[in-house]
Structure 1
Amino acid sequence: MFLTLAKGFVIGAGLIMPIGAQNAYVLSQGIKRNYHILAATICIICDFILMSLGVFGGGALLSSHPVIALVVTILGIVFLTVYGALFFKSFYLASNEQMAEQMSPVTKKTVIFTTLAVTLLNPHVYLDTVVLIGSISNQFDEAERVFFLFGTLLASLTWFYMLSLGAAKMSPWLSTPKVQRGINLLVALIMWAIAASLLTTLL
């Protein structure tokens, strides 16, 4: 059972850790120390729901309804393109005064909405959690699937809290205007790269 849990942890970590829209947003909130634990927790809860759906048969349901995937893909392209443009504008036009203003806190409601958007409007999230995790879990019997699922969820919990708390701890350095401009550019490029990949699959 421990081996199954370890497999789930390694596979989960491999899918979650690559830099994407979720990670970029949690990182940015950690740097600001602005509801960063909340943002990480929302990501973990979403992973819990989606991975559970995948392990217990949701992958087949998603595959049988391509219209759902199409709608999410289109919404994701629009959101990520616009969100990337906002970060690029912050990088390109920001002065030191504007950078200081950007570091000011945003509301809890804004953090909740944005975290849900970067998570649920990215079809890659469904591919990784529902489809891929669900497919891999089929190699285990019913009892072992629970341990596999627990391992993937443990990876999600560990990663997002480490990312959030690590960014907050390094905030004095990461929040300097020069570094923050670089992070804004990186986040913009990540958002646009994901949107471009979604558009490519759509076409």
Structure 2
Amino acid sequence: MPYVSTFFNGLALCFGLIVAIGSQNAHVLRMGLKREHVGLTVLACIVIDAALIGLGVAGVGTLVQSSPLLLGAARWGGAAFLLWYGLRSWRAVFASAALTVGPAAPRIGARQALASVVALSLLNPHVYLDTVVLLGAIGGNFAPPERPAFALGAMSASALWFCALGYGATRLSGLFARPAAWKWIDGITGTMMLALSASVAFGS
């Protein structure tokens, strides 16, 4: 059945892209480790990815690529945001003690948690390159009747990955209650964000 094959093409391709370390994945992992608004964070990532994949397969990626203004705004705005996030993570390496889990842990509100994941998702140009541009271009090569199957496969991969990452991390929260372990997470996250910022700003 061609639609089944197209579905699994979208599933496999999206898995290959989404598993790579990025700001969105790091944030989901962090929220899972803290056991803080995990469901909201995971749901927001799934909805955002699904919307961008749908737009890409529908042909929006071609329009974005043809606008130097949009590409430039995404590039420099995203680089600035990733730089700020990386510096904030490194500051936490020297300021944080341990990850507190349980009723005594300081918690952020649902609105702040949602704003954080939306910003980390939509202000990172790599998200658009992976979903709107790359997946959109490949999905657009399929015959029009097969495109929904490709998009559904890619969306399914996103949903499976974020659920596994967010809820899987909750089982590791006890390990990261130790100060040294949490400082490692902050340091790795900060380094990764700074590297992504440089890649976005100065990459080809």
Offset at residue 61 of structure 1 (A):
1.1
Offset at residue 35 of structure 1 (A):
0.4
Offset at residue 76 of structure 1 (A):
1.2
Give the counterpart of 1:193 among 182, 192, 195: 195
Equivalent position amino acid for 1:144 in 2: E
Mark the runs of 5 or more structure 2 residues left unpaired by the alignment: none
Give the counterpart of 2:26 among 24, 27, 34: 24
Offset at residue 172 of structure 1 (A):
1.1
1:66-92 CA-partner distances (Å, limit 9, x unpaired): 211211222211111111111111112
Checking the alignment, whether the CA contact within 8 Å between 1:32 and 1:104 is kept in structure 2 is: no
Equivalent position amino acid for 1:105 in 2: R
- Percent identity between matched residues is 34
Q: Distance in 2 between matches of 1:158 and 1:50?
A: 17
- Is 1:158 aligned with 2:160? yes
Show the counterpart of 2:141: 139
Equivalent position amino acid for 2:152 in 1: F
Offset at residue 34 of structure 1 (A):
0.6
Correspondence list, 1:113-132, <5 A: 113-132=115-134
Show the counterpart of 2:43: 41
Give the counterpart of 1:93 among 84, 92, 95: 95
Q: Distance in 1 between matches of 2:106 and 2:29?
A: 15
1:104-129 CA-partner distances (Å, limit 9, x unpaired): 22111111111111111111111110
- Relative to the length of structure 1, the TM-score reads 0.93
Checking the alignment, whether the CA contact within 8 Å between 2:11 and 2:154 is kept in structure 1 is: yes
Offset at residue 142 of structure 1 (A):
1.0
Mark the runs of 5 or more structure 1 residues left unpaired by the alignment: none
Paired residues, number: 200
- Is 1:181 aligned with 2:180? no
Measured at CA, do residues 61 and 11 of structure 1 come closer, stay the same or move farther in structure 2, by a change above 3 Å? same
Measured at CA, do residues 32 and 95 of structure 1 come closer, stay the same or move farther in structure 2, by a change above 3 Å? closer
Q: Distance in 2 between matches of 1:114 and 1:18?
A: 20
Checking the alignment, whether the CA contact within 8 Å between 2:58 and 2:140 is kept in structure 1 is: no
Q: Distance in 1 between matches of 2:7 and 2:97?
A: 48
1:139-192 CA-partner distances (Å, limit 9, x unpaired): 311111111100000000000010000001221113322211111111101111
**What is the DSSP-based 3-state SS (H/G/I as helix, E as strand, rest coil) of the residue aligned with 1:112?**
helix
Q: CA RMSD in A?
A: 1.7
Checking the alignment, whether the CA contact within 8 Å between 1:32 and 1:105 is kept in structure 2 is: no
Show the counterpart of 2:53: 51
Checking the alignment, whether the CA contact within 8 Å between 1:32 and 1:175 is kept in structure 2 is: no
Show the counterpart of 1:111: 113
Q: Distance in 1 between matches of 2:110 and 2:68?
A: 34
Equivalent position amino acid for 1:186 in 2: I
